[in-house]
Amino acid sequence: MSTSSSPRRMSRRTVLKAAAAVPLVSIWTRPARAAEFTYKLATGQSLNQPINTRLKQAIDRIREASNGRLEIRFFPASQLGSDTDLLSQARSGGIEFLNIAGSVLSTTIPLAAITNLGFAFTDYDQVWRGVDGDLGKMVRAQIDKSGFVSVSKAADNGFRQITSSTKPIKTPEDLRGYRIRVPVSPMFTSLFQALGANPTSINFNELYTALQTHLVDGQENGLVTIEAGKLYEVQKYVSQTNHVWDPFWLLANPRAFKTLPDDLKAIVRREFDRASMEQREDVVRMNATLQSQLSAKGLTFVQPDRGAFRAALAKGGFYAQWKEKFGADPWLALEAVTGKIS
Q: Provide the 3-class DSSP secondary structure of residue 198.
A: strand
Report the amino acid identity of residue 108: T
245-252/97-101 β-pairing:
antiparallel
Distances (CA, A) of 333 to 138, 150, 279: 9, 19, 25
Q: pLDDT by residue (tens digit) across 222-241? A: 999 999 999 999 999 999 99
Which long-range contacts (C-beta less than 8 Å, at least 24 apart) are formed by 78-85? 78/43, 78/44, 78/203, 78/204, 78/205, 79/42, 80/40, 80/42, 81/42, 82/44, 82/203, 82/204, 82/205, 82/206, 83/44, 83/183, 83/184, 83/203, 83/204, 83/205, 84/184, 84/203
Beta bridge partners, 202, equal none
Q: pLDDT by residue (tens digit) across 175-234? A: 999 999 999 899 999 999 999 999 999 988 899 999 999 999 999 999 999 999 999 999
Q: pLDDT value at position 15?
A: 34
Q: pLDDT by residue (tens digit) across 241-256? A: 999 999 999 999 999 9
- What is the spatial distance between Cα 231 and Cα 220, in angstroms, rounded to a whole number? 10
Q: pLDDT value at position 32?
A: 53
Average pLDDT rounded to a whole number, residues 8-23 = 38
Q: pLDDT by residue (tens digit) across 122-165? A: 999 999 999 999 999 999 999 999 999 999 999 999 999 999 99
* Second CATH level (architecture) for the domain 32-338: 3-Layer(aba) Sandwich (3.40)
Helix locations, the chain, DSSP H? 2-20, 24-27, 50-65, 83-92, 102-105, 124-131, 134-144, 186-194, 207-212, 223-228, 254-259, 262-296, 306-315, 318-326, 328-338
Give just the sign of the alpha carbon dihedral 268, 271, 276, 279.
negative
Q: pLDDT by residue (tens digit) across 75-129? A: 999 999 999 999 999 999 999 999 999 999 999 999 999 999 999 999 999 999 9
Q: pLDDT by residue (tens digit) across 265-277? A: 999 999 999 999 9
Q: pLDDT value at position 7?
A: 38
Residue 201 contacts residue 262 (beta carbons within 8 Å) = no
Single pTM value for the model = 0.87
The angle that helices 306-315 and 186-194 make with each other, rounded to 10 degrees, is 100
Q: pLDDT value at position 184?
A: 87
Q: pLDDT by residue (tens digit) across 255-265? A: 999 999 999 99
Quick one: pLDDT band at residue 33, thresholds 50, 70, 90?
A: low
Please, is 39 exposed, middle or buried when counting C-beta atoms within 10 Å of its C-beta (0-12, 13-18, 19+)? Answer: buried
Q: pLDDT value at position 342?
A: 77
Residue 233 contacts residue 296 (beta carbons within 8 Å) = no
- pLDDT exceeds 50 at position 20: no
Q: pLDDT by residue (tens digit) across 37-59? A: 999 999 999 888 999 999 999 99
Instruction: Give the residue extent of every domain in the chain.
Output: 32-338
Q: pLDDT value at position 34?
A: 86
Range scoring the smallest mean pLDDT among 27-36, 75-84, 273-282, 291-300: 27-36
Q: Provide the 3-class DSSP secondary structure of residue 179.
A: strand
User: How far is C-alpha 134 from the geometric centre of its chain's CA atoms?
Assistant: 21
- pLDDT exceeds 50 at position 28: no
Strands laid side by side in the 179-182 sheet: 198-201, 179-182, 218-221, 161-164, 237-239, 300-302
